[in-house]
């Protein structure tokens, strides 16, 4: 991300990631850090997803309700639907739009485009808020994605991106069993430093990187399950009711730990603003 020297770093369980010696950014080559557990890029669980949606929406409207919103990687459109219900004008871009069922209200009233954010020249601009929830870890060219996001904002508009924390304690603790590695389309993991550097390079100001207390609540239980019983799971480890139950049961412990040790929080949130007003 910052152009410095990159060295391979081996984690327990046989996974090697390339880590930048300056900003700590991690790049993943599937040949050296395979996923080999899941068919689908998306391995969510409906109840957990709904809770996550509520929490994410709350994070995104923390600084007030935006009038114009664009989501990168809108998936089923569930978050855009929240913004629509709030009275916002919504738009989005997603490479896989035809593969999932998009909320019919969002489909009817939103400006939805198919494609990657990297080639987004025709997207609607002058946005108050551009956001992406767990998308930056999937993109091949995050510099381009951030630069496009910047250009889609009005002067003073803001971005919010959630992405797994490559500088959390999880990689040392779980190694190859870390749940974030179950998804084969996760090709990079930001650190707070590499995320801030990337935002700065894209022209943003008022850059803040937070570690979210309440995102990805099931990551520890899922990682432990993967560590204890490594085996192929075509539907993902969260396809198991026992693992979901363990995630719920361990929640108080997980939250207590996240409060005391912020580095155990698995998600980074980038908040930044396009200069001017």
CB of 20 to Zn ion, least distance (A): 3
From the list 1-9, 33-41, 102-110, 139-147, the region that binds Zn ion by CB under 5 A is: 1-9
**What's the min distance (Å) between Cβ of 17 and Zn ion?**
13
Tokens (6 digits) for 58: 């709350």
Task: Please report, as residue ranges, which positions from 241 to 260 form the binding site for Zn ion (by CB under 5 A).
Answer: none
Q: In the bound complex, what is the minimum distance in angstroms from residue 26's beta carbon to Zn ion? A: 10
Residue 7 binding Zn ion, by CB under 5 A: no
Cβ distance to Zn ion smaller for residue 23 or 212: 23
Q: Where are the alpha helices (DSSP H) in the chain?
A: 46-60, 78-85, 104-109, 142-152, 170-174, 192-201, 219-228, 241-249, 251-260
* One-character DSSP codes across 4-46: --EEEEEETTTEEEEEETTT--EE--TTTS---SBSSS----H
If the CB atoms of residues 20 and 148 are measured against Zn ion, the closer one turns out to be: 20
Q: Are 123 and 153 in contact (CB under 8 A)?
A: no
Choices 12-20, 29-37, 71-79, 110-118 (CB under 5 A): range interacting with Zn ion? 12-20
Binding characters for Zn ion, 17-46, by CB under 5 A (x = yes)? ---x-xx-x---------------------
> Among 57, 12, 22, which residue's Cα sits nearest to residue 198?
22
- Least CB distance to Zn ion at residue 166 (A): 11
Which positions lie near Zn ion, rule CB under 5 A?
1-2, 4, 20, 22-23, 25
């Amino acid at each position: 991300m910052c152009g410095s020297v990159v060295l391979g770093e081996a984690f327990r369980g046989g996974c090697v990631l390339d880590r930048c010696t300056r900003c700590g950014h991690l790049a993943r080559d599937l040949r050296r850090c395979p996923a080999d557990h899941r068919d689908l890029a998306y391995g969510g669980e409906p109840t957990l997803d709904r809770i996550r949606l509520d929490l994410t929406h709350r994070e995104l409207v923390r600084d007030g309700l935006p009038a114009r919103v664009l989501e990168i990687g809108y998936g089923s459109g569930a978050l855009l639907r929240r913004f629509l219900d709030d009275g916002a004008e919504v738009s989005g871009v997603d490479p896989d739009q035809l593969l999932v069922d998009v909320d019919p209200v969002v489909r009817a009233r939103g400006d939805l485009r198919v494609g990657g954010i990297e080639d987004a020249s025709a997207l609607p601009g002058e946005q108050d808020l551009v956001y992406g929830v767990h998308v930056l870890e999937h993109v091949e060219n995050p510099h381009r994605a951030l630069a496009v996001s910047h250009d889609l904002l009005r002067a003073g508009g803001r971005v919010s991106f959630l992405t797994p924390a490559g500088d959390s304690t999880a990689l040392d603790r779980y190694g190859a069993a870390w749940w974030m590695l179950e998804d084969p389309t996760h090709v990079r993991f930001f650190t707070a430093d590499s995320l801030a550097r990337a935002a700065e390079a894209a022209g943003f100001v008022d850059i803040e990187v937070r570690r979210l207390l309440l995102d990805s609540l099931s990551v520890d239980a899922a990682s432990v399950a993967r560590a204890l019983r490594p085996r192929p799971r075509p539907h993902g480890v969260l396809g198991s009711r026992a693992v979901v139950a363990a995630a719920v049961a361990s929640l108080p412990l997980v939250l207590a730990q996240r409060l005391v040790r912020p580095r155990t929080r698995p998600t980074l949130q980038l908040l930044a603003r396009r200069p001017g007003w």
